[in-house]
């Protein structure tokens, strides 16, 4: 039996992060770049900085059920266990997480 799959051409889409509106209690966060070197100047391989348990980032947009404390421009600390990373085509890393998964607001 011979199966033929049609050629699928994927078109990369670039989304403006401020125009992506999360649903309900979700928050869209732009992730901060992780340090590429230690404080002593030792270069860290990507495998060493890829899996961070806790991440920081800046809130880009929030859903309609998110409280007043969390808003665009706020810096937050959250766990990457429950975050869902998305590629918006901008070069920056973004992820969605629930408001209840945010660990702290960073001042």
Q: 59, 29 in Cβ contact below 8 A?
A: yes
The number of folded domains in the chain is 1
pLDDT in tens, 61-92: 999 999 889 999 999 998 877 788 888 888 88
CATH for 85? 2.30.33.40
* Residue 63, in any domain of the structure: yes
Residues in the chain: 107
Distance in angstroms (rounded) separating the CA atoms of residues 28 and 70 = 11
* Residue 1, in any domain of the structure: no
pTM as predicted: 0.72
* Residue 33, in any domain of the structure: yes
Structure token digits, residue 93: 């890393």
Q: 106, 56 in Cβ contact below 8 A?
A: yes
Q: What pLDDT, on a 0 to 100 scale, did the predictor assign at position 50?
A: 53
Residue 17 three-state SS:
helix
The domain in which residue 94 lies consists of: 19-106
Q: 82, 99 in Cβ contact below 8 A?
A: no
């Amino acid at each position: 039996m011979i199966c033929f799959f049609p050629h699928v051409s994927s078109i990369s889409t670039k989304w403006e992060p401020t125009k992506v509106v999360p649903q309900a209690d979700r928050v869209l966060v732009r992730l901060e770049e992780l340090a590429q070197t230690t404080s002593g100047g030792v270069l860290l391989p990507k495998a060493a900085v890829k899996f961070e348990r806790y991440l920081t980032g800046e809130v880009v947009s929030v859903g309609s059920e998110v409280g007043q404390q969390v808003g665009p421009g706020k810096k937050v600390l959250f766990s990457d266990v429950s975050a869902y990373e998305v590629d918006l085509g901008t070069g920056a890393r973004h992820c969605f997480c629930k408001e209840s998964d945010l660990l702290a607001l960073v001042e």
